[in-house]
Chain A
Amino acid sequence: MNSKTAGFFQEYEVFSKRTAASPMQYQFSLLAPNEEMALILAQENFMRREPVADIWVMKQSAIKKMTPDERQSLPRLDNKDYRNTKGYGYLKKKWRKYEQEMLDEKEIFSWGGESKK
């Protein structure tokens, strides 16, 4: 490696969102000499066509990643029914006895609409 340029480039991770309302999403990484250049290169490299509302860049060294071993601890045992609606599905049958519909996820999320004045 050329000693003059050693340490010149840093690795940056790039995040962006498509619209003001969407969540930030990881895109890719790039090499840049500083944050300002990283932002410009992120736009040039990854946002030439797709809609974009905001871009973040972050030095890779600032991110704490899980090691492959740590990732092994992520899969869950399939014994958490009590945390999910799945564990309460039997209520549907019970409500039917009282001639009532069950207020399930689909029904509850449908309540967020505009007021019907």
Chain B
Amino acid sequence: MIRLETDEEKHINFMERIYAGEKIEADDWMPDEYRNVLIKLISMHGISEIMGALPEKEWVPKAPTLKRKLGIMAKVQDEMGHGQLLLRVTEDLIKPLGKTREDIMEDLFNGKLKFHNVFHMEAPTWGDAGLIGWLIDGAAIITQTNMLNASYGPYARALKRICAEEVFHAQHGEAIILALAEGTDEQKRMVQQAVERWWEPLLMFFGPGDAKAVGTSKQDITAKYRIRSKSNEELRQDFFTKYVPRILSIGLTIPDPSMHYDQEQEKWIYQQPDWEKFKEIVRNKGPKSQERLRLRKLSYENNEWVREALARPNDAR
């Protein structure tokens, strides 16, 4: 005789599978909380890849040499590709809720779906373009490699592809920064000013240390479900350990006089960013939020004719 499992039994089996290191697939039973936290995380990641390509694409026509232009174009294309991968992963999760990619875009435009704080900021010089590749992609590598073993199989597989390409992005950024740091006084100044502009957004990138700073935090849920292993603060500390010595070694200054490694506490001491400002920025009230959302909308509208042409291939025959 077949006896159907209760939801409670399903939940217990699910948690046992996760703790045994098994991967969950799109058509497996999963708790609503797990599905919802994945949708939030992966749609935000996917949309951020796409919104992140926008400040970089501004630099394609202005890149100083052909080689740099080809490099940054390749990077912009990668970011859009990552967006596609991650939106596909999200779509399979929202399918049972009757939703599609259109709903993801709708949520982006109406502000329900947020994108990473760093992509709301300005990138006024070539130094910013290099710094985004070096440090923002560096920070992204740290948060993303932390999820390579995520319990959700489709996300873990997408991250493997993405991280492999991020390595190229980081080196592309390093190449630009090292060239500028070894250049004229004006070029050196350009990098230093970029560091000053991006330091606070970089600290914010990892998210608040706990829910106290901004009211909510998904850290505990993602850890419980084995989606990520380290906390925001651990990741930020990892970032300092890897990048602070490199930043200083090329003669740059970090705009935080209190920044130092405390041997006794075995951690970096630093000035917290303004988390109130962070909340405003991710609510689409950053310096470039509206302009970039408008760009996204415009490109969708301007390319409408392509979709229309593709929708009726038989009419032409």
Contacts and interface: CB of A to CB of B under 8 A. Distances in A.
Given A1-B103, A48-B77, A34 B313 contact: yes
A93 B11 CA distance: 51
Task: Label chain B's interface by main secondary structure.
Answer: helix
B69 interface: no
Contact of B310 (A1, A11, A33): A33
A31 B101 contact: yes
A5 B307 contact: yes
A113 B157 CA distance: 37
Contacts, number: 51
A29 B310 contact: no
Given A8-B311, A67-B27, A68-B28, A31 B81 contact: no
Interface string A27-51: 0111101100100010011101100
B27 A68 contact: yes
Nearest to B314: A34
A95 interface: no
A9 interface: yes
Interface residues of B, number: 25
Given A1-B100, A9-B101, A68-B27, A28 B88 contact: yes
A11 B313 CA distance: 18
A2 interface: yes
Contact of A28 (B78, B85, B103): B85
B101 A44 contact: no
B160 to A, nearest CB: 11
B84 interface: yes
Interface string B46-89: 00000000000000000000000000001001100100110010
A41 B77 CA distance: 12
Contacts of A68: 25, 27-29
A45 to B, nearest CB: 5
A29 B103 CA distance: 19
Contacts of A5: 102, 307
Given A9-B101, A68-B29, A33 B311 contact: yes
Interface of A: 1-2, 5, 8-9, 11, 28-31, 33-34, 37, 41, 44-46, 48-49, 65, 67-68
Interface of B: 25, 27-29, 74, 77-78, 81, 84-85, 88, 91-92, 100-103, 157-158, 161, 165, 307, 310-311, 313
Given A11-B88, A29-B88, 8 more contacts: A5-B102, A9-B100, A31-B88, A34-B313, A45-B85, A46-B81, A48-B77, A49-B165
